[in-house]
Amino acid sequence: MSDLSGKTAQQELTAAARSPADLLTAIDRFREATVLVVGDFILDRFVRGVIERISPEAPIPVLHGRDETLTLGGAGNVISNIVSLGGTAVPIAAIGNDAAGRTILAALENQGVDVSGILTDPSRMTSSKSRFSALNQQVLRFDEEEIRPLSGDHRQAIIERFRKHLSRADIVVLSDYGKGMLLDGVAAELIGLCTEAGKRVIVDPKGHDYSRYAGATVVSPNRKELGEAVGRPVADDEQVVRAARQLIDAHGFEFVLATRSEKGMSVIGKEDARHIPTQAREVFDVSGAGDTVVASFALSLAAGLDRQAAAAIANAAAGVVVGKRGTARVSSEELMAALFRSDATSHSERSVVDLDTAEQIATAWRREGLSVAFTNGCFDILHTGHVSLIQQARATADRLILGLNSDASVRRLKGESRPVNTARDRAFILSALAAVDLVVVFDEDTPLTLIERLRPDVLVKGADYTVETVVGADIVRAYGGRVVLARLVDGKSTTGLIGKISSSNGSN
């Protein structure tokens, strides 16, 4: 397989999964997946406030705290993202019997997580990181931690808990934050148990020595970590591929998933490499984005997707989470919305979906707070009047779904000589327009069923209708939606174009 670095994110998804329904089905199967997560748990504390003066005690700013948030970090953030995406996460870890440890346990239990795999060690300090910010700018980070390998008894207890839960896992994640859980050969022992049981292992690595992860299915370093692991800088696609294959050859990994910040991510095997560009979004905070990638990637593999499609989904999930502040997580609804986010550079035939799929996507958009518009028509020979209607419809909402009459429907409405272009051709052309997010073909004479199920916030038709004669207007207005009549472009119609073409042919 050749490198595909020139393709867009949505084209990568098209290559990796044949239809939008495949992706939605996979995300729905997250609910059936169980991920065993072993690693370092961290309590993340975010303190926000304002700075209005300098301390009289020393030349330092005084932060007046206004609010505080406690969230799960490290392996805990992987767990939170798995649960938020609908999967089942089983944590295996050792934490301290301290305030941070008790907070972590309570947070996991509040998410419905089985904590029987977590060992409480009174002699151990639970890692915590406190971040202090003013005006959305971090001014100080205060870490409390003790880097210490597991003691003999506690190590054996962790291994036994891992063995106990391994049979129920569809996939295993080792989340190494270098705090001690996976030191001194623990990672290698766990990978060996997974190999014996036929379980795939994803490692989020730490440090320079990847030999400790030998035999894992995949490691997921960021670009900086990848360079440190091979002892040289990596920047462009070719350098990333060479570095990843060096690790594959040295340590027996099946492939490497490299995250590359603004350049997206790369999935590299011995014989293939795919580079997936990032989805353009405003970035507020990259804290925990790697955990989101690991969680969504693990669930995607467990749900049956191949590694390219799984990476594309993980890339979309990362795009959502960097748009949030602090250590954040992504929901399945946000992920579905992100996968079908409008992007003028990457429209393709995958935007043509059936009604069931469109209904799921529209629901996901609304849960993300996006408004949805709907318009419909035959759109037989696309002309400026059609484009004007579509652009006006898109201007009324964040997303636009277009209902397209099937060939049989057009024949009943327009006569046996129509349509000139098949529904497949018409749908493909319409899906290429930047203003169109989804196209749904329907067989009925009217789009009433589509309107009832999609429940658009805005229903748009041409001004040659009145509100009273627009099909579905009463339904939309009944639940608080709007009906908009778009202005027409004079003298533009498919019937008129066909007449001109026939007249021109007759005069030749």
pLDDT digits (tens, 9 = 90+) for 258-285: 998 878 899 999 999 999 887 645 444 4
Q: What number is the average pLDDT over the span 150-166?
A: 95
Domain count, the chain: 2
**Domain match, 265 and 374 both:** no
Taking the C-alpha atoms of residue 455 and residue 459, their distance in angstroms, rounded to an integer, is 9
Provide the CATH number for the domain around residue 170. 3.40.1190.20
Residue 383 domain-assigned (yes or no): yes
Eight-class DSSP state of 424: H
Q: In whole angstroms, what is the distance from residue 144 CA to residue 165 CA? A: 30
* Residue 407 annotated in active site: no
**DSSP, res 222:** B
pLDDT above 90 (res 505): no
* Structural domain includes residue 456: yes
CA dihedral 257, 259, 265, 266 (to 10 degrees): -40
Same domain? For 335 and 399 the reply is no
Q: Do 286 and 363 share a structural domain? A: no
How long a stretch of residues is the chain? 508
What are the E-state strand segments in 368-508? Answer: 372-377, 399-405, 438-442, 458-462, 482-486
CB burial of residue 89 (10 Å; 0-12, 13-18, 19+): buried
Specify the pLDDT at position 457: 97
Domain closes at, from 318, 339, 360: 339
Alpha-helix runs per DSSP H in 327-404 = 332-339, 355-367, 384-394
Rounding to the nearest 10 degrees, give the CA dihedral for residues 500, 501, 505, 508.
60
Domain boundary among 309, 339, 369: 339
Residues 503 and 508: their CA atoms lie apart, in Å, by 9
CATH code at 449? 3.40.50.620
In a domain, 479, yes or no: yes
Note the pLDDT tens digit of each residue in 405-450.
999 999 999 889 889 899 989 998 998 888 999 999 999 999 999 9
Q: Which residue has the higher pLDDT, 11 or 500?
A: 500
Once rounded to an integer, what is the mean pLDDT over residues 201-223?
A: 96
217 plus 109 within the same structural domain: yes
186 and 86 in a common domain? yes
The range of the structural domain enclosing residue 384 comes to 349-507
pLDDT higher than 60, residue 3? no
| pTM of the predicted protein model | 0.75
d(CA 244, CA 275): 13
Domain match, 372 and 255 both: no
Tell which of 339, 369, 402 closes a domain.
339
Question: For position 436, what pLDDT does the model report?
Answer: 92
Is residue 140 included in any domain, yes or no? no
Residues 6+ apart with CB under 8 A from 457: 366, 371, 372, 373, 397, 481, 482
Q: Is residue 53 part of a domain?
A: no
The DSSP element (H or E) to which 99 belongs, if any, is helix 99-110
Q: Are residues 320 and 374 in the same domain?
A: no
Same domain, 288 and 431: no
R_g of the chain computed on alpha carbons = 27
In this structure, are 371 and 329 located in the same domain?
no
Please give the average per-residue pLDDT across 223-237, as a whole number. Answer: 94
Q: Tell me what the mean pLDDT of segment 382-394 comes to.
A: 92
| Number of CB atoms found within 10 A of residue 208's CB | 11
- Among 291, 407, 437, 457, the active-site one is 291
**% residues pLDDT > 70 (the chain):** 87
Residue 195 CA to residue 193 CA, distance in Å, equals 5
| 327 and 377 part of one domain | no
Query: 230 with 297, same domain?
Result: yes
Distance between CA atoms of 302 and 36, rounded to whole angstroms?
11
- According to DSSP, the β-strands at 482-486 and 41-54 are unpaired
> Which among 482, 475, 460 is positioned nearest to 400, based on CA atoms?
460
Residue 153 lies in a domain: yes
Residue tagged 């939008």 (tokens): 20
What is the bridge-based pairing of β-strands 118-121 and 88-96?
parallel
Please report whether residue 494 resides in a domain. Answer: yes
In a domain, 61, yes or no: no
Pairing mode of beta strands 458-462, 372-377: parallel
Looking at the structure, tell me whether residues 273 and 370 fall in a common domain.
no
- CA–CA separation, 351 and 219 (whole Å): 32
Average of per-residue pLDDT values in the chain: 87
